C-alpha cells in the first residue's frame, strides 16, 4: 500500500504515544519518556528532506484530572528534546465523551497544525498507531499511515489505506512524495 501518487507532501504530523515514544498510559512524567527505536533518526530524515513537522496527540489525562496541562507540556518538551524538535504541537486535552472538535479521529488538530504550519491539509501525512490517527487525517483531507503495534486492532489495520512496519518505513514512504510534482516527473 502506498500514498496517493499525485500529492506532493510538505508536512508530516506524528502521534506521540506508541508512534514517537513508548506508550506509558496517561504519561505526564518527562522522566518516563523513551523514544521508540529509530524515532530520532526517522524524524531527522524527514526534517532533512525539508518537511514541516508536528505532533498531534490526544491527552485525556488532563480531562481526567490525572495531570495538568503544564505536566503534559513538560512531557512533550522532553519528547521534543529526545526526538524533535517539532515545528508545532497540537494537544487535545479532552476525554472521549467531551464532543470536542480536536480529539482524534476528529480533524481539528490536523487542521490546526496545517494552518499553523502554513500548508494545506492535502499536503500533509499523519502517522500513528491506531485507526483514530489515520481517520483524523482522512477527515481533514490529509493522508494517513498506520504503524501498527501489538495493541492496534486488526480491523484498524484492515481499514488503513497505507500501513508501514515501523516509523522508519513510514517516513520512507513519505519521502517518496516530497518536493514538487515536476521533481518527480
Q: Which active-site residues does the annotation give?
A: 15, 17
The total number of residues shown for the chain amounts to 185
Q: 175 phi and psi, to 5 degrees?
A: -65, -20
Non-local CB neighbours of 115 within 8 Å, separated by 6+ positions: none
Secondary structure (3-state) at 91: strand
CA dist., res. 109 & res. 145, Å (int): 16
Q: Spell out the alpha helix ranges (H) of 24-122.
A: 39-48, 69-82, 108-117
Q: Tell me the HSE value of 146 on the side-chain side, using a 13 A CA sphere.
A: 25
Non-local CB neighbours of 37 within 8 Å, separated by 6+ positions: 166
Q: Which three cell numbers stand for residue 168?
A: 522508519
Say how far residue 114 (Cα) sits from the centre of its chain. Answer: 12
Amino acid at each position: 500500500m502506498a500514498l496517493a501518487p499525485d500529492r506532493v507532501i510538505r508536512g508530516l504530523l506524528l502521534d506521540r504515544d506508541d508512534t514517537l515514544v513508548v506508550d506509558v498510559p496517561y504519561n505526564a512524567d518527562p522522566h518516563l519518556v523513551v523514544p521508540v527505536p529509530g524515532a530520532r533518526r526517522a524524524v531527522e530524515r524527514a526534517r532533512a528532506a525539508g518537511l514541516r513537522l508536528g505532533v498531534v496527540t490526544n491527552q485525556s489525562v488532563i480531562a481526567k484530572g490525572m495531570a495538568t496541562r503544564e505536566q503534559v507540556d513538560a512531557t512533550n518538551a522532553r519528547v521534543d528534546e529526545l526526538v524533535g524538535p517539532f515545528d508545532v504541537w497540537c494537544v487535545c486535552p479532552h476525554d472521549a465523551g467531551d464532543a470536542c472538535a480536536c480529539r482524534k479521529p476528529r480533524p481539528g488538530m490536523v487542521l490546526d497544525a496545517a494552518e499553523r504550519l502554513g500548508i494545506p491539509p492535502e499536503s500533509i501525512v499523519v502517522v500513528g498507531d491506531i485507526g483514530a490517527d489515520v481517520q483524523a487525517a482522512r477527515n481533514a483531507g490529509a493522508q494517513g499511515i498506520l504503524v501498527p503495534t501489538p495493541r492496534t486492532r486488526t480491523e484498524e489495520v484492515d481499514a488503513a489505506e497505507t500501513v508501514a512496519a515501523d516509523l522508519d518505513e513510514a517516513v520512507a514512504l513519505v519521502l517518496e512524495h516530497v518536493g514538487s510534482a515536476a521533481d518527480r516527473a
